[in-house]
């Protein structure tokens, strides 16, 4: 059983059925605030990479996983997931940021990753419509994918491969002693293995052997018309970004600890527009097409919870991906299928994501 049919859950279902398992996905349907419905879908592990970041190599593997998965999904389902890997720029707006980003470029190049520094004149030449900068980190292999199409394609292929989809809200895990035996929703469902991939709602399940430290963090978003005289691009800032998709400028985002509230606020939008109009002043003259928000599943240390629940056979966690849910969904599905099968994993060291790390004392 996979609890949750979002980006991570659908990827898990697809990989598990490909590993010849019988799979049931339980999902409540139109969940208000589901993170994947609100995500921009950036595939950008290099934008915030640091030498001590345990997610960097996993993020790169997640991004590169889609190079193979995207054409497979389209061939199997006819759904294009909108994979676009033509580069992302992270701009520096101060001298301190310039120094910091130059150091990031140097480190990434030493690790063998494609990464360049563009000075202010090069940025102006490449993006003449952009506001003043002190240069930019340029990662030519980064990009984005369409989250809604991705989930649709994952679920479509999974169902065609034999996965059963049921609209039901799981309320509790069912255990007997130290083993999971199923889940409880409107009905009871039996299974040898249960994968918790319920996003921000994962920690609200009853019957968990220990508290699951996943909390919702709201991210607000907006869409404006994409300026007709500007080529498609993605520009990144730590507190805001600009992404072109289907004739719109997708802009975001906030990080707000407001529980499960999904309202869009004027303060949140003001923060976003302040950042993106400094990047692209032309956006200030355009009307907003729509606004929305989503609830990211965030853990205390900002890392996903991935692997078997301590002391409970058959219970697996694939949650807490925070802002990296789309980036890591594909690789998470593959890793979960390998872990459940007891096989070596594509990414060897997953110790930083071990579910037991929050309960050691």
Task: Summarize pLDDT for 177-213 with one digit per residue, the tens.
Answer: 999 999 999 999 999 999 999 999 999 999 999 999 9
Percent of the chain clearing pLDDT 70 (strictly above): 99
Are 82 and 64 a contacting pair, CB within 8 Å? no
**C-alpha count within 13 angstroms, C-beta hemisphere, residue 251:** 28
Tokens of 263: 């309202």
Question: What residues contact 81, with CB distance under 8 A and at least 6 apart?
Answer: 66, 70, 73, 74, 145, 146, 149, 150, 153
Q: List the one residue out of 231, 252, 245, 239 whose CA is nearest residue 129.
A: 231
Mean pLDDT of the chain: 95
Residue with tokens 């699951």: 212
Question: What residues contact 275, with CB distance under 8 A and at least 6 apart?
Answer: 237, 239, 240
Q: What is the pLDDT of residues 135-162, one digit of tens each?
A: 999 999 999 999 999 999 999 999 999 9
- pLDDT value, residue 361: 53
Q: List the one residue out of 1, 63, 5 whose CA is nearest residue 34.
A: 5
End-to-end CA separation in angstroms for the chain: 31
- pLDDT value, residue 94: 95
Which pLDDT band holds residue 359 (cuts at 50, 70, 90)?
confident
Which position has the higher pLDDT, 86 or 51? 86
From residue 253, give the alpha-carbon distance in Å to each of 36, 166, 315, 349. Answer: 14, 32, 33, 31
The overall pTM is greater than 0.75: yes
Mean pLDDT of 34-55: 93
Where b means 16+ CB within 10 Å and e means fewer, 64-100 reads bbbeebbeebbeebebebbbbbebbbbbbbeeebbee
Q: What is the pLDDT of residues 265-303, one digit of tens each?
A: 999 999 999 999 999 999 999 999 999 999 999 999 999
- pLDDT value, residue 52: 85
Question: What 3 state SS string does the chain have?
Answer: CEECCCHHHHHHHHHHHHCCCCCEEEECCCCCCEHHHHCCCEECHHHCCCCCCCCHHHHHHHHHHHHHHHHHHHHHHCCCCCCECCCEEEECCCHHHHHHHHHHHHHHHHCCCCCEEECHHHHHHHCCCCCCCCCEEEECCCEECCHHHHHHHHHHHHHHCCCEEEECCCCEEEEECCEEEEEECCCEEECCCEEECCHHHHHHCECCCCCCCCEEEEEEEEEEECCCCCCCCEEEECCEEEEEECCEEEEECCCECCCCCCCCCHHHHHHHHHHHHHHCHHHHHCCCCEEEEEEEEECCCCCCEEEECCCCECEEEEECCHHHHHHHHHHHHHHHHHHHHCCCCCCCCCHHHCHHHHHCC
Q: List the one residue out of 350, 353, 348, 342 whose CA is nearest residue 19.
A: 342
- pLDDT value, residue 195: 98
Angle between helices 325-341 and 147-160 (to 10 degrees): 30
Residue with tokens 């399940």: 205
CA 17 and chain centroid, separation:
22
């Amino acid at each position: 059983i996979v609890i949750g049919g979002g980006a991570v859950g659908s990827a898990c279902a697809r990989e598990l059925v490909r590993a010849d398992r019988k799979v049931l996905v339980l999902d409540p349907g139109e969940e208000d605030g589901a993170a994947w419905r609100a995500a921009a879908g950036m595939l950008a592990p290099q934008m915030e990479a640091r030498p001590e970041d345990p997610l960097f190599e996993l993020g790169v593997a997640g991004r590169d996983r889609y190079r193979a998965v995207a054409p497979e999904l389209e061939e199997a389902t006819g759904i294009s997931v909108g994979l676009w890997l033509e580069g992302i720029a992270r701009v520096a707006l101060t001298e301190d940021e310039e120094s910091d980003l130059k150091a990031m470029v140097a480190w990434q190049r030493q690790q063998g990753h494609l990464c360049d520094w563009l000075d202010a004149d090069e940025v102006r030449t490449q993006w003449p419509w952009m506001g003043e900068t002190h240069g930019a980190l340029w990662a030519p292999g980064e990009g984005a994918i369409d989250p809604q199409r991705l989930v649709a394609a994952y679920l479509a292929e999974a169902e065609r491969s034999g996965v059963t989809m049921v609209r039901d809200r799981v309320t509790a895990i069912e255990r007997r002693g130290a083993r999971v035996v199923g889940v409880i929703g409107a009905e009871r469902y039996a299974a040898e293995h249960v994968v918790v991939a319920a996003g921000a709602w994962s920690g609200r399940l009853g019957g968990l052997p220990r508290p699951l430290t996943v909390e919702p963090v709201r991210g607000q978003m907006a869409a404006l018309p994409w300026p007709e005289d500007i080529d498609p691009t993605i520009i990144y800032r730590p507190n805001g970004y600009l992404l072109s998709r289907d004739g719109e400028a997708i802009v975001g985002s906030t990080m707000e600890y407001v529980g499960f509230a999904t309202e869009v606020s004027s303060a949140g939008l003001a923060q976003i527009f302040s950042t993106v109009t400094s990047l692209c002043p032309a956006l200030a003259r355009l009307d907003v097409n729509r606004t929305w928000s989503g609830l990211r599943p965030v853990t205390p240390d900002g890392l996903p919870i991935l692997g078997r629940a301590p002391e409970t056979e058959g219970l697996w966690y694939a949650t807490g991906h925070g802002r990296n849910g789309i980036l890591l969904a594909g690789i998470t599905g593959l890793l979960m299928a390998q872990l459940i099968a007891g096989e070596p994993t594509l990414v060897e060291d997953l110790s930083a994501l071990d579910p037991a790390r929050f309960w050691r004392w």
